[in-house]
Amino acid sequence: MSETISRTCGCCGTAFHQTVPDKSSEKPGFFYDLDNRPPEPARSELYRQIFRCPECGFCMGPKDRKAAREFVDSEAYKSCEGNDLPEGVGADYYRVGMAAEQDNDIQTALAAVIRAAWFFDDTDDDANAVKCRGKYIELFKKLRGNDSGALVVAADVYRRCGRYGEVAESLKNRWFPDRLTRQIIEYEAQLADADDRAAHSLKDCFDVIDGDK
């Protein structure tokens, strides 16, 4: 089953229709992953929210965005900044991130490149997932202000890239007022100490906490 959605390209102005998969029919879950990836049915939404203009190749997420033709035609855009990601949902999300970054919309850029990483997780393409997480870190460093939610995700992103030392470094001298965040951070540090690069959910975190009682 699928659904057809109409969009207008923010680069060349072409109106187009795109077929997207139907909403997941799985029962709603409770536990997010440590990098904030939601459970079903929202988990599969990343496959419904990515659009590519058939005319010029500009990629858009659910929100409209404008871009110049030179940007979309550039080698950097086509090659995902030299990362040469295989064409598809992952590369297109990476490009959504590039366009948002160019507009200085870092929050949207972060949301887009982490979705690119999730796509490569789903396709067991670790090398390209690591490239997308590397981009997440690069963008995260551009964030202004004290965003503890983004910091918690960043700690997970470092770990999922195998950059274990940087997990501790990113959290040094940080204190989180709420207990849940402190527990997640502590669990994240334990995983990094164990050289564990796998995806983990909040359920795994709670199981460890409950086991310690």
* Amino acid symbol at 85: L
Q: Closest distance between Zn ion and the C-beta of residue 22, in Å?
A: 26
| Tokens standing for residue 92 | 């297109």
Minimum CB distance to Zn ion smaller for 12 or for 168: 12
CA separation for the pair 148, 186 (Å, rounded): 14
Minimum CB distance to Zn ion smaller for 75 or for 195: 75
Q: Closest distance between Zn ion and the C-beta of residue 69, in Å?
A: 9
Q: Which residues bind Zn ion (CB under 5 A)?
A: 9, 11-12, 14, 53, 55-56, 58
Task: List, in sequence order, the alpha helices (H) in 141-201.
Answer: 148-160, 164-171, 179-193
Pair 3, 18: CB distance under 8 Å: no
Cβ-based neighbour number of residue 132 at 10 Å: 29
Q: Closest distance between Zn ion and the C-beta of residue 3, in Å?
A: 21
Q: Are strands 59-60 and 2-8 parallel, antiparallel or unpaired?
A: unpaired
CA separation for the pair 112, 60 (Å, rounded): 10
Minimum CB distance to Zn ion smaller for 53 or for 130: 53
Q: Closest distance between Zn ion and the C-beta of residue 85, in Å?
A: 20
Minimum CB distance to Zn ion smaller for 18 or for 24: 18
Q: Closest distance between Zn ion and the C-beta of residue 70, in Å?
A: 13
Pair 77, 35: CB distance under 8 Å: no
Minimum CB distance to Zn ion smaller for 54 or for 165: 54
